[in-house]
Amino acid sequence: MIERNEENYRIESQLAQIGSVHEPKTGAINFPIYQATAFRHPRLGQSTGFDYIRTKSPTRSVLEEAAAGLEQGDAGFACSSGMAALQTLFAMFGQGDHLIVSLDLYGGTYRLLERIMSRFGVTASYVDTNDFDALESVRTPRTKAVFIETPTNPLMMITDIEKVASWAKVHGILTIVDNTLLTPFFQRPIELGADIVVHSATKYLGGHNDVLAGLIVTKGKQLSEEIAFLHNSIGAVLSPSDSYQLMRGMKTLALRMERHQYNAIRIANWLLEHPAIDTVYYPALEQHPGYEIQRRQSTGNTGIFSFRLKNAAYVEPILRHLKLIAFAESLGGVESLMTYPAVQTHADIPQEIRDQIGVDDRLLRFSVGIEHVEDLIADLEQAIQAARVEVEDKGHE
């Protein structure tokens, strides 16, 4: 028999102990990978609790229980990707249902809503979720949920989760929060009133750019049962080996998030003073419009931010001259990555919306890794300087 420790430990201890169980027969510290797809029934009408891998598997169950505990929810669901997690959630909605969604939104989420969910009659309105007049103006009798990214990707807009969740409850609307960028180590939306939390676990939770996964955490028995039905029926579940890999990454989440935050704050402040930089979007900076909300509802800051160059001509040579920092999509891993949102992560967002929110041809997004901060600054400095020299030389031709 495997016994789990139910002590109310702090989150750092909970993370380090994910998958660590008291198993008297072997004394194994880490939970094993059960690759079985089917499980023997003791007799007709009896079950060990595991029947078929799509419905439930031992390794995935340990991960899901850990996720629910970290987010202070009632049930967790591990999916084959962040987008699979969103598809599972959005399957709650059908013909005529309406969603209110963060204006500054990850392009993949926008694509899922506009090009796939629209086929099933689900509509969405995109607004600044801190603007209650805007929320009210788009709310209809068929509005079923408000979907919030906070911070948003890539412009790091902050939403007051508690206020929006309170507003939503008055109107019988679910509050869903994408907590990918802060993780439960820095922010726990369910404690602030959210009904559902979703993660692209590929990012900070996995943390090493080596596993594709998504997580859903729900609050409430009825909602948990509904997502369990959809999770099993759709079948976009996480494999045992990927479940183990994700748990392994999550064990060091506390250490990594502290370092991501430290590096990001140092670099963001350095960029603020750089003559080639126009604007830095990072909620840890006092001049950020969401600074006070972020301080109130979170215990720290993410390791990702965006910055706008003064000259769009700098973009290509900066990306080409980076050495330590990789020009690559994704975020949240130990390695630093830089992305050009307008043509990569947000290419599916219509031009008029990108222009409205500021995802333009001068914006770069930086996922700050855990390398030495002075090495990262030096790499940025040499890349920016090389770009300025190139652009200036072309101007003299």
Nearest Cα residue to 302 out of 239, 246, 362, 365: 365
Order across the sheet with 75-79: list the strands.
75-79, 214-218, 196-200, 174-178, 143-149, 98-102, 123-127
User: How far is the C-alpha of 142 from the C-alpha of 98, rounded, in Å?
Assistant: 6
Given CA atoms 118, 219, 134, 353 in this order, what sign does their dihedral have?
A: negative
Q: State the pairing for strand pair 174-178/196-200.
A: parallel
Q: Is 197 helix (H, G, I), strand (E, B) or coil?
A: strand
**Among all residues, which ones are annotated catalytic?**
54, 106, 178, 203
Q: What is the 3-state secondary structure (H, E, C) of 133-163?
A: HHHHHHCCCCEEEEEEECCCCCCCCCCCHHH
User: How far is the C-alpha of 158 from the C-alpha of 38, rounded, in Å?
Assistant: 45
Residue-by-residue DSSP string for 333-368: SSS-EEE-TTTTTTTTS-HHHHHHHT--TTEEEEE-
User: How far is the C-alpha of 193 from the C-alpha of 164, rounded, in Å?
Assistant: 9
Partners of residue 167 on adjacent β-strands: none
Residue-by-residue DSSP string for 42-76: SSTT---S--BTTT--HHHHHHHHHHHHHTT-SEE
Nearest Cα residue to 302 out of 164, 122, 182, 131: 182
Q: CA 152, 155, 158 angle in degrees (round to 5)? A: 45
Q: What is the 3-state secondary structure (H, E, C) of 11-34?
A: HHHHHHCCCCCECCCCCCCCCCCC
Q: CA 310, 312, 315 angle in degrees (round to 5)? A: 105
